Structure 1
Amino acid sequence: MDTLNFSGRSGVLVLASYAALMLIIGFFAGRGGSGAKHSPKGHYLAGGNLGVVTLFFTLYATQYSGNTVIGYAPQAFREGFAWWQSVTFFSMIVAGYMLFAPRMHAIAKKHSFVTPTDWVSHRFGSTPLTVLAALLMLWALANYLLEQLIAMGQAITGLTGSTIPYQVGVTAFVLVMLAYSWSGGMRAVAMTDIMQGVALLLGVGTLLAGAVVLVNDLPAGNGPTVLSHHPEAMAVPSTVDSVNWVSMILMVGIGIAMYPHAIQRVYAARSARTLKRSLLPMVWMPLLTAGAVFAIGLLGLELFPDLSAQDSERLVGMIANEVAGLNVFFYVMMILLFGGVVAAVVSTADSALLSFSSIVSTNVYARYIRPEATPQHQVRVGKAVGVVAVFGILLLAWNPPSTLVEIFTLKIELLIQLAPAFVVGLYWKRLAAGPVFWGMLAGVLLAGGMAVVGVDALYGVHGGMLGLVLNLGICVLGSLLRPRERTEHAAEPGTAQRPLDQAHSG
């Protein structure tokens, strides 16, 4: 990200204000009832009592982060119209939620689920499958957290003009994140999501408005145009690119809906009606967020037509500098925008950390290491796990090896392999644990193997989608080939059929 021409003192003041607000929110959220302090459901799901506004913003924060602003505009600059896929795959995420969220919410309420793997254990009654699903989720969450910590440090350095060094900035905000999430759990995380969501929406809208003003101020008839300087940006994509587009839409739409912290927000809704009312405005957010960022990237082609692909990574900072120079209002809003970007990254990271802690403490420690652990003890272990995990990942964020970063890009390709267990398992009671385990493992090996040998896609289809097709084939054929009575018996530990029917009728 480009170093902004704002004074370091202004940036430090804004960051300090955001940090103080997060700590205040965490303090009051931690006082908001004993459940948030003493039970896994209270700490990790806010007692399953999130209302419409809070649930909407925490879902929004799960789907969008500071990376959406900083990373997607340069991608639009480089790819042109083809990057409109970012708007469509964000729309597809909402459709992905609707595939399973209403039914899953009803079952989670009935059986007091805390983590996503509670569903896997309940539905299939298979320890190997539950462990494999937990490992995939922990991998994805560690990946997600690493990305957010790196983005956090870069955003802090850019906002403060390097007044706050990368390592110092990310360490300071990690401590802030740990403090409020330790104190208030999901309740504090959800409340900070409201703050960052409002800041991100207002900041992106102001940045787009300022970019439009800048383009309109270009000399009439002499200014650069996208068509004259970058005709390839508006060209019709090739067949392979079009296939890749569809593949990306499906993979991201389904994969992000499988994020553990996204599923836990489904559990945390106060009611099915609350969940549906929260998801309804999410339909418009791709246009208002990803669409606005896409437009900013294309306007960047007008403002900086000769920018190289490598230099385009600094595009948002460059546009923000120009917008800040328009007048005092835009100057203040650009500072608030980049403070909001930092807050957005922190709010995204805290969700991943909370989910990571819940899976380890509830599904690993309490189930296999110390089954007699009290709920209070499980929460304490989860908090300790969060501290250890975040500082371990922080060491990687300070100086990430390139090979590790390349491996971690597998997150969506691997996470999407959970979809048969969560979606097909909700609707098809004959789906059996054994085929789901082998299908999930085969999909992971195929997607991971393609990444290791350097093959991103075949004829435009991503490795994750090819792995999912193989995964589904094994799940369906394997379940059909098993004797019906054995299949039903395998599903019996979950006893999901009756709740599914109840959820459907409700």
Structure 2
Amino acid sequence: MVQDLAFGGWSGILIMIVYGLIMLLIGFLTFLKNKNVRESNDEYYLGGRGLSVMVLFFTFYATQYSGNTIIGYAPTGYRMGFEWLQSVTFMILVIGGYLLFAPRLYVLGKKFKFITPTDWLEKRFRSKGITILGSILMLYGLGNYLLEQFVAVGQGVAGLTGGTIPYQVGVVFFIIIMLIYSWLGGMRSVAYTDTMQGIALLIGVFVLLVGSIVYFGGLPTATDYMQAYAPEKLGVPESNGIVGWFSMLLLVFIGASIYPHAIQRIFAAKSVKTLKKSFTAMVWMPFITTGVVFIVGIIGINAFPGLDTFESEKLVGMMANVIASQNALFYWAMVLLFGGIIAAIISTADSVLLTFSSIISKDLYGRYINPNATEPKQIFVGKIIGIISVAILLVIAWYPPATLYQIFVLKFELLVQIAPAFILGLYWKRLHTKSVFVGMIVGTILSAAMTFANYTPFGIFSGLWGLFINLVICVVGSLLFTVSRSEEEAVDKVIGL
């Protein structure tokens, strides 16, 4: 979290207002240029399937690398030492996860006019159970993710302004702005603001690194300190730690790559060539972003030794305070950095909200509740439900019951249960529909039960145990139960490219 940033105050308020006005301006200009945005699901939720390489790259980048990457990953590196190098690894693996299915799914999405991730499930399996269950799991993951961003932006605004703008006011201010520009321009507004926010975050990360090296010393200084006073942060983890390390890599490899808002961006690409070029550029971002943040966390070990867990959460703010106090250039650079962090958090939230609304309006309302609803009406319903959902999440964010904590940590554990349907379904024609449905249910129940019981055998995440059982049921069921000739022919028309 961002707290106690003494350099904030009026300059922080100025930066917040400027960022907010720029976001509103982008939304307004996008609306004027594309006034039919309210008439078509394709235009509103996918930007007319015309996102260019640069815009697609930055909307992927700003969505994947939230401001929490800066605020949260550096303190984790501070506490774990070089073991946290895994953060760079699992961000690389996310790109590998995309490449397992994204190009093929893009071709199918363009062929069959997919708008949402659920459209793929419906087209592939033609099962009401899989479609609804998949939608619920995706909505749960998206709602959870959105809640995290709201909490983070409130803390960020309060920190950037030195407490001048309270947590609640900061949350409401940016949520209103986000709702306005996403309401006006849909995916185009979200993607264009993501571009601005992604550039701000990228510049801010490097400013923080340069300032940290100049005023605290680089990696050699930090490593010498660790060798003398914290050698455990230099060594490799014990066997249980290694299992947990690989468990985390696998969970993120699968879970982050099938985030619904990331999948929707696949459908929004102008062409498969555009998509591949964007992913090629994204391959470098773990080093440029997560790697840089990791180095900052390591440098912090020498800069502020002996911090406990709670104190270390303020590490980035503490380092920024010292850097900002050196001269006017670094003062404003640090103010811009935290403005960029907050903007990046918003860029993640707007993407999540757009996909959340699309699943409710098109997949649930338009498909099952009111099949005769026109596309403008579906879009309107999605906007209204989005506002209601945001209001509910705000209440939870301000007054969270203690029992909700375990529900929040179920995000990846439940979301990965849709992976067999998404990935195997793209390549295996004989994948048995009922086995997929049963696997999703059993995997979901098992993951939830193990998480609530805090039971992780061998240090492996509960979601992976659920996914393993889910996958076994899918594969064994598909081998045992035959698919009719007509069903196989129907599937071949979908994935037989």
TM-score (normalizing by structure 2): 0.97
User: What letter is aligned with 2:472?
Assistant: G
Separation (CA, whole Å) in 1 of partners of 2:218 and 2:360: 55
- Name the structure 2 match of 1:291: 291
**Distance (Å, rounded) in 1 between the aligned partners of 2:311 and 2:352:** 30
| Cα shift at 1:328 | 1.6
Amino acid at match of 1:241: G
Aligned twin of 1:465: 464
* Paired position in structure 2 for 1:439: 439
Q: Which residue of 2 aligns with 1:43?
A: 44
Aligned-pair CA distance for 1:392: 1.0
Checking the alignment, whether the CA contact within 8 Å between 1:5 and 1:321 is kept in structure 2 is yes
User: How far did 1:500 drift?
Assistant: 3.5
- Alpha-carbon displacement from aligned partner over 1:58-92 (angstroms, at most 9, x marks no partner): 11122110111111111111111111111111100
Residues 432, 491 of structure 1: 8 Å contact kept: no
Q: Give the alignment of 1:301-316 within 5 angstroms.
A: 301-316=301-316
In the other structure, the counterpart of 1:474 is 473
Deviation of 1:489 (Å): 4.1
How far residue 409 of structure 1 moved from its aligned partner, in angstroms, is: 1.1
> Percent same amino acid at aligned positions?
50
Task: Tell me what 2:115 maps to.
Answer: 114
1:218-257 equivalent positions in 2, closer than 5 A: 225-257=225-257
- Deviation (angstroms), 1:454: 1.5
Q: In structure 1, give the amino acid aligned to 2:268.
A: A
Alignment of 1:394-405 (within 5 A): 394-405=394-405
1:497 corresponds to 2:492: yes
Q: For the Cα contact (< 8 Å) 1:433–1:491, is it kept in 2?
A: no
1:381 counterpart residue number: 381
Q: Where in structure 2 are the equivalents of 1:118-197 lying within 5 Å?
A: 118-197=119-198
Q: Which amino acid aligns with 1:285?
A: M
One-letter amino acid of the counterpart of residue 267, structure 1: F
The answer to whether the 8 A contact 1:366-1:372 is kept is: yes
Question: What letter is aligned with 1:378?
Answer: Q
Q: 1:464 deviation in Å?
A: 1.0
The aligned residue for residue 365 of structure 1 is 365
Partners of 1:435 and 1:479 within 8 A in 2 = yes
Alpha-carbon distance between aligned partners in 2 of 1:182 and 1:324, rounded to the nearest angstrom: 37
Identify which range, 238-247 or 26-35, moves more after superposition.
Answer: 26-35
Contact 1:429–1:497 (Cα < 8 Å) also in 2: yes
Distance 2:222 2:446 in 1: 52
CA distance in 2, matches of 1:288, 1:217: 16
Query: 1: CA distance between counterparts of 2:278 and 2:83?
Result: 30
Kindly indicate whether the alpha-carbon contact (under 8 Å) linking 1:65 and 1:344 is maintained by their aligned counterparts in 2. Answer: yes
Q: What residue identity is the alignment partner of 1:467?
A: G
Partner deviation per Cα, 1:311-345 (whole Å, 9 max, x = no partner): 10110100111111222221111100101111111
Contact 1:154 1:166 in 2 (8 A): yes
Alpha-carbon deviation of 1:199?
Answer: 0.7
Secondary structure (helix, strand or coil) at the match of 2:403 reads helix
Task: Please tell me the residue identity of whatever aligns with 2:482.
Answer: P
Q: Match of 1:352? A: 352
Contact 1:60–1:282 (CA under 8 A) maintained in structure 2: yes
Quote the Cα distance in structure 2 between the aligned partners of 1:399 and 1:45. 34
Equivalent-residue separation in structure 1 for 2:8 and 2:344 (angstroms): 21
Gaps of 5+ in 2: none
Letter in 2 for 1:165: P
| Higher alpha-carbon deviation: 144-153 or 222-231 | 222-231
- Over 3 Å counting, the alpha-carbon distance change for 1:395 and 1:490 in structure 2 is farther
DSSP-derived class of the 2:37 partner? helix
Count matched residues: 496
Q: Separation in 2 of the partners of 1:209 and 1:195?
A: 22
Q: SS state of the match for residue 314, structure 2?
A: helix
Deviation at 1:257, TM superposition (A): 1.0
User: Distance in 2 between the 1:338 and 1:11 partners?
Assistant: 8
Following superposition, the deviation at residue 501 of structure 1 comes to 4.1
Could you tell me how far 1:221 is from its partner in structure 2? 9.2
Q: 1:71 maps to what in 2?
A: 72
Output the CA distance in 2 between the equivalents of 1:217 and 1:449: 45
TM-score by length of 1: 0.95
Deviations 1:417-460 (A, max 9, x none): 111001000010100210011111111111111111112x2212
Distance 2:486 2:372 in 1: 28
Shift of 1:217: 9.5
Q: Which stretch of the first structure deviates more once superposed, 36-45 or 49-58? A: 36-45
Aligned position for 1:27: 28
Deviation readout 1:212-243 (Å, 9 max, x if unpaired): 1122399x999971211211111111111111
Matches of 1:222 and 1:275 in 2, distance apart?
39
CA distance in structure 1 between the aligned counterparts of 2:221 and 2:335, rounded to whole angstroms = 33
The residue type equivalent to 1:282 in the other structure is: M
Give secondary structure in 1 for the equivalent of 2:431.
coil
**1:9 correspondence with 2:10:** yes
Question: What amino acid sits opposite 2:131 in the alignment?
Answer: T
Residue 6 of structure 1: how far off its partner (Å): 1.3
Output the CA distance in 2 between the equivalents of 1:230 and 1:43.
53
The residue that corresponds to 1:280 in the other structure is 280
Unaligned runs of 5+ in 1: none
Q: 2:222–2:298: 8 Å Cα contact kept in structure 1?
A: no
Query: Match of 1:424?
Result: 424
Residue 31 of structure 1 aligns to a residue in which SS? Answer: helix
